[in-house]
């Protein structure tokens, strides 16, 4: 598991794959020469065989200067459907091209630092492209109440039952937007998961600037033809993208739950801002009835806004959201993680 600024947690197996290519590119820097083939369209430019340089000059300049933001670099590295191998090749080629700039940096420490910063930025963007957030099986204790300082939203029809301590977000709420947003009612013994909204593409909440933990919830509808990708293929927090791991509900990882207490007095440990431990008995008993799912992210609010966007995978189906909890990152989370979920969500350096 790795964590990249502004703080979105991602799985580590693909990061290792990427870094193998990045390290290979760095090793080749000494032999890299300036001069790059041109391409009219960076997003679709085909690269030459691995090890050769084919990076458009505009992309190289963007990486070095940062002018124009990260969008052009994201497009060059590939779309959400691009293969891991192709993203890695593009990242390696760009880093190799950056190494070719070393001749201009001789004796210029500022230029050398610029090149190193550009390499780091490319590696980070590529890692986000090939890593993914996992959906975990999710349950809610009946007596759960959000902590003070948290934002707790319950999505659903205007006249639906609202979980105590949560605020109703109906289809016409100004904080959401999407494609044909509508409320759905589902049989469930927990009011947070009993109903929800389909078609939501963006959620915008007002918060003070700073770091936050985001818990976005859904429910297993039992029919993949209705909602095969409840969160889409990619989630963006204030513009920073992260892929959602593909697969049906059978691929959801075990397990996490919202709890106000100590999960029936079980022994729990703190790890990376979460309480963790053996919650399988409690969580699975609740999950069997509730069938909830969640993704757990982190993001940085700027301009007093925290904007979460769901993208891709909605050609034939729709998003489906039941709730949202936003917590200040310095606050111990209301989410309790199983050991399996902890390994997915909490970086190892934070588990001590």
At residue 340, φ and ψ (nearest 5 deg) are -65, -45
Contact 183, 197 (CB under 8 A): yes
pLDDT at 31: 39
- For 87-144, how does the pLDDT look when each residue is reduced to its tens digit (9 = 90+)? 888 888 888 888 877 655 556 678 888 888 888 888 877 876 776 788 999 999 888 9
Count Cβ atoms below 10 Å from residue 235 Cβ, excluding itself.
24
Q: Which residue has the higher pLDDT, 240 or 207?
A: 207
The predicted structure's pLDDT at residue 48: 38
pTM over 0.85: no
What distance in Å separates the CA atoms of residue 11 and residue 322, rounded to the nearest whole number?
25
**For residues 279 and 338, what is the distance between their CA atoms, to the nearest angstrom?**
6
Q: Is residue 315 very low, low, confident or very high in pLDDT (cuts 50, 70, 90)?
A: confident
Q: Which residues contact 92 (CB under 8 A, 6 or more apart)?
A: 21, 22, 24, 25, 50
Phi, psi dihedrals of residue 88, rounded to the nearest 5° = -65, -40
User: What distance in Å separates the CA atoms of residue 193 and residue 336, rounded to the nearest whole number?
Assistant: 17
What helix, strand, coil percent values describe the chain, rounded to 5? 30, 30, 40
Q: Give all domains of the chain, ordered by start, each with its CATH number.
A: 12-130 (no CATH), 132-350 (2.60.120.430)
> In degrees rounded to 5, what are phi and psi of residue 210?
150, -170
Q: What is the pLDDT of residue 81?
A: 59
Using CB atoms within 10 Å of the CB of residue 158, give its burial: 0 to 12 exposed, 13 to 18 middle, 19+ buried.
Answer: exposed
What is the Cα–Cα distance from 186 to 195, expressed in whole angstroms? 5
């Amino acid at each position: 598991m790795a964590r990249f600024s502004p703080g979105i947690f991602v799985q580590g197996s693909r990061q290792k794959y990427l870094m193998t290519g990045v390290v290979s590119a760095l090793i080749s820097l000494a032999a890299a020469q300036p001069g790059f083939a041109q391409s009219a369209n960076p997003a679709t430019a085909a690269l030459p065989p691995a090890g050769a340089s084919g990076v458009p000059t505009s992309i190289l300049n963007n990486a070095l200067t940062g002018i124009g933001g990260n969008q052009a670099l994201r497009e060059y590295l590939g779309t959400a459907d691009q293969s891991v191998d192709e993203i890695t090749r593009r990242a390696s080629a760009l880093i190799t091209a950056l190494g070719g700039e070393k001749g201009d940096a001789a004796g210029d420490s500022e230029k050398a630092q610029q090149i190193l910063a550009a390499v780091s930025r490319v590696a980070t963007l590529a890692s986000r492209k090939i890593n993914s957030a996992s959906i975990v099986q999710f349950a809610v204790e009946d007596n759960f109440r959000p902590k003070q300082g948290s934002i707790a939203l319950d999505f659903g029809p205007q006249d639906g039952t609202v979980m105590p301590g949560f605020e109703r977000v109906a289809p016409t709420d100004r904080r959401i937007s999407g494609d044909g947003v509508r409320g759905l009612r589902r049989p469930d013994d927990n009011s947070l998961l009993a109903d929800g909204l389909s078609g939501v593409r963006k959620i915008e909440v007002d918060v003070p600037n700073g770091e936050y933990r985001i818990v976005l919830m859904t429910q297993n509808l039992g029919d993949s033809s209705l909602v095969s990708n409840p969160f889409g293929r990619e989630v963006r927090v204030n513009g920073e993208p992260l892929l959602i791991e593909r697969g049906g509900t059978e691929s959801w990882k075990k397990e996490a739950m919202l709890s106000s207490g100590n999960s029936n007095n079980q022994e729990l440990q703190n790890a990376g801002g979460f309480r963790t431990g053996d919650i399988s008995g409690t969580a699975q008993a609740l999950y069997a009835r509730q069938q909830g799912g969640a993704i757990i992210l982190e993001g940085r609010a700027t301009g007093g806004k925290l904007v979460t966007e769901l993208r891709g995978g909605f050609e034939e189906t729709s998003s489906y959201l039941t709730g949202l909890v936003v917590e200040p990152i310095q606050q111990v989370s209301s989410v309790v993680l199983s050991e399996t979920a902890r390994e997915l969500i909490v970086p190892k350096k934070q588990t001590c």
